[in-house]
Structures are given as structure tokens and as C-alpha cells.
Amino acid sequence: MPRWHKSSYSSGGGECVEVATNLAAFHGIVPVRDSKRPAGPALRVAATAFSVFVAGVKDSGFGNA
């Protein structure tokens, strides 16, 4: 069962995504969903890809868009 949470950096304005990292260790996935549509679909991201993404965000490796 996914345990959904938002980033602590979320401003609470409703423009957020939620992740369920509790599934990474046992299932190898990190579900990601739109916080405005909790009953809607969730993307299933490979845990390794999610880790690379988070590391890139922390290192500002994506530059300015």
C-alpha cells in the first residue's frame, strides 16, 4: 500500500506531485501522482531512475528551464 507524501518544500498551493517512496525497497518502483487528483493515475518510476532524478535536482544538474 503506497504511503503518499509531498515535498516539504511544497507551498501548499495545490500544484504539487506526491510520491510513495515506501515501495522502492521491496517493489523497485516509486509511484508519482498529481496531488489534485489522488484517485487518478500514478506514474510508476523505477526506483533507480527516481534516485538519479533526485540527485540531479539536489545538485542543480538540470540547469534553468
CA atoms lying within 13 Å on the CB side of residue 14: 2
Domain ranges of the chain: 17-58
Question: What is the reported pLDDT for 65?
Answer: 55
Question: What is the reported pLDDT for 63?
Answer: 66
Specify the range with the lowest mean pLDDT, choosing from 9-13, 15-19, 49-53, 61-65: 61-65
From first CA to last CA, the distance across the chain in angstroms is 35
- pLDDT tens per residue, range 14-57: 678 899 999 999 999 999 999 889 899 999 999 999 999 989 88
